[in-house]
Structure 1
Amino acid sequence: MPAENTENAAATPPAPQARTTPLYDVHRELGANLVDFAGYLMPLRYASETAEHRAVRTGAGLFDLSHMGEIFLDGPGAGAALDYALVGNLSPMAVGKARYTMICAPDGGVLDDLIVYRLADETFMVVANAANAAVVLEALAERAAGFDARVTDRSADYALIALQGPEAQGILARFTAAPLPDLKYYAITADEVGGVDALIARTGYTGEDGFELFVDAADAVRLWRELAAVEGVVPAGLSARDTLRLEAGMPLYGNELTAETTPYEAGLGRVVKLDKPGDFVGKATLAAQAQTPPGRRLVGLVARGRRAPRKGYEVVTSDGTPCGVVTSGAPSPTLGKPIAMAYVDCTVSGELAVDVRGRQEPVDVVDLPFYKRS
């Protein structure tokens, strides 16, 4: 699932007006380092972010994602409205399926990346990043105005708990009769989990198998405690979620994706469905870009040394000429090396380095993702 920038979250003190999720008291009990993130007090880490990261890679991690936005489109024209509002082709999607897509401005810039779930013939749920939820809600309401569809913000109704890792299915099976082996990746079903009603989605933002559980906000604490009581389940914060998605090569809004970046520049032109019937916002610009190679490309970088490239650091050629910028970077617990994603000029070849505080650190350019589960 999409998520916002966490690289600088540790430096952001809680604001007096920051909102809390239904699991706020649980996080405090667990001694979480809480930070102001997208207007919410969220757990950055509970103890060791490296241990939390490794738990997801080897067992199961439990995340609070209740800050995300849930926006519903209902009505006979809901599918057509989404086809016009987003770059994807959503109306043919079967009930119980999900799709990764984007909402773009008329100039093709990405306003947010989204997951859309079809819950019924005339009901879709759009999950937006917390920092962009208000922008997405406003844009959807405006773009759906000419269709027989109702747009409703139901973010406050839901808590979102993610159970991620290779042991996630076996653990979740203890709490639900839902046929989890039959629930394919990017699919969703409704059933009870731990005695509470839930939407069970096989989606995630870690590069591992896992599930995202949409439940009534009033049921969040009960469900969290039941899942967390299972031996081997480790609560995980935003820092671990960020390094997990970075290893998996997943873009982050505010880093790899921005209003100044188009899907084609981000290497995600596949989500733009130019051949779908009718018009959609940004189609003319994106159609033109599809015919013109972008001037920059998103690449993976692996540092040869121990100093991690960070967001905003300059990428340079062997002679020191600037040729790009790092969008995300961190030490990789799985690879044991610093890794990064960066935009670099398409014309660049040869040895590259990253300017880390005035020192050029050599890097190797690699294909994304850095990590892919077996």
Structure 2
Amino acid sequence: MTLLRTPLYDLSAAAKARFVEFSGWEMAVQYSGLKAEHNAVRDNVGMFDISHMGKFALAGENLVEALQTLVPSNLARLEVGKAQYSVLLNEKAGIIDDIIYYHQGDHKGFLIVNAATTQKDWDWLTTYLEPKGIILTDVSRDKALIAVQGQKAEAILQPFVQNLDLSSLKMFNHAEAEIDGKQAFIARTGYTGEDGFEVMVSPEVGQKLWEQLSDAGVVPCGLGCRDTLRLEAALHLYGQDMNDETTPLEAGLGWLIHWDEKGDFVGKDILVAQKAEGVTKRLVGLEMQARGIARHDYPVLVDGQEIGIVTSGTMSPTLNKAIALAYLPREFAKKGQAVEIEIRGKHYPAKVVKKPFYRSPNR
């Protein structure tokens, strides 16, 4: 299979990045090293090529009203320039994907979706929205997308941005601006647990910006530290920590359901019943109590009996502890619960802890 490459691939190759296959794309997993890149974001600033993400422009007179039926969050409360993290739900309230919707006006908006689910999301959205007069345009291959993340992101990025004071952008706000005299879409969003921006521009502008940021001392970062950063902040990875068999309530995303503000939406009846009866499983945080790293799909045990599965796990560079996420039955999903992780046939102690594992002092 021929892998897709982002507009910034050649620049990453020139920087001697190590590449891996990811959702059909050839992506940089690391440049200078995972820990160095991770610490650059936590302590200073780093940049990620996330051009592989799905990017959909939406337009239509009843855009918000139509999109409202597919997510549990109330998009109608968004003002122009605001964004909402949410989830697309199927009829069983399973999560099709997690998304960010950027509200650009009564008849215009933008969606960023996961690379692995771009086609699935497109098919779902067009099936529901096109009959309601919504026009969808897939610009996933037409735009470069760069995430500039870290406590110094604003100061570093500002000199390259025209017609926008970045300090005026609050978290989950977005605006149109110019970079190198060309149109740019800039959002104060990210996937690292730190302050930062996601910048969408043409491939040519993206390539120049990447080089300029590198010259300014911004550390290129790969998928490896993107994973450790997001896991420390307990941010979900679609396909591991949630999928179309898990509901927002099970995944710890109940805060996305605006119960009192919404009319009908796909999967609502299931969620209403689940809220009344209580979930049977919950996504919890785990901290290893001995040497050993819990990894995806490792069994979680109590008294020698398997009760759950690790969905994500790593050694936290910031905390210097092994941490993980796992689905456990409700009766075991309480803070302080002692469990064991099976690692290559041996059992290692762990305990349930509060999420997130790390919270930035700069947010």
With the shorter chain as reference, the TM-score category is over 0.9
Contact 2:339/2:351 (<8 A) preserved: yes
The 5 A counterparts of 1:1-374 are 16-177=1-162, 178-231=164-217, 233-317=218-302, 319-348=303-332, 350-374=337-361
SS at match of 1:219: helix
Of stretches 306-315 and 239-248 in structure 1, the one that deviates more from structure 2 is 306-315
TM-score, normalising length: structure 1: 0.93
How many correspondences in the alignment? 357
Q: Deviations over 1:59-118 (max 9, x none)?
A: 011100000011121011111111012222213311100000000110111010000001
Contact 1:23/1:64 (<8 A) preserved: yes
Distance 2:263 2:284 in 1: 33
Q: How far off is 1:267 after superposition?
A: 1.0
Identity of aligned residues (%): 42
Q: Deviations over 1:150-180 (max 9, x none)?
A: 1221212211000000110110122224211
Q: How far off is 1:194 after superposition?
A: 4.2
Distance 1:248 1:304 in 2: 19
Q: How far off is 1:125 after superposition?
A: 0.3
SS at match of 2:161: coil
Contact 2:46/2:220 (<8 A) preserved: yes
Change (3 A) 1:331 1:28: same
Distance 1:283 1:296 in 2: 19
Distance 1:170 1:65 in 2: 21
Q: How far off is 1:218 after superposition?
A: 2.7
Give structure 1 stretches of 5+ with no counterpart.
1-15
Q: How large is the Cα RMSD of the aligned pairs?
A: 1.3
SS at match of 2:349: strand
Contact 1:315/1:353 (<8 A) preserved: yes
Of stretches 241-250 and 219-228 in structure 1, the one that deviates more from structure 2 is 219-228
The letter for the 2-side match of 1:247 is E
Distance 2:264 2:282 in 1: 27
After superposing on structure 2, the runs of 4+ consecutive aligned residues of structure 1 that deviate more than 3 Å are 274-278
Distance 1:351 1:109 in 2: 29
SS at match of 2:28: strand
Distance 1:92 1:347 in 2: 36
SS at match of 2:39: helix
Q: How far off is 1:277 after superposition?
A: 4.5
Contact 1:110/1:259 (<8 A) preserved: yes
The letter for the 1-side match of 2:49 is D
Q: How far off is 1:293 after superposition?
A: 1.0
Of stretches 359-368 and 201-210 in structure 1, the one that deviates more from structure 2 is 359-368
Q: How far off is 1:120 after superposition?
A: 2.8
Distance 1:354 1:284 in 2: 35
The letter for the 2-side match of 1:157 is D
Q: How far off is 1:148 after superposition?
A: 3.0
The letter for the 2-side match of 1:330 is T
The letter for the 2-side match of 1:205 is Y
Give structure 2 stretches of 5+ with no counterpart.
none
Contact 1:86/1:280 (<8 A) preserved: yes
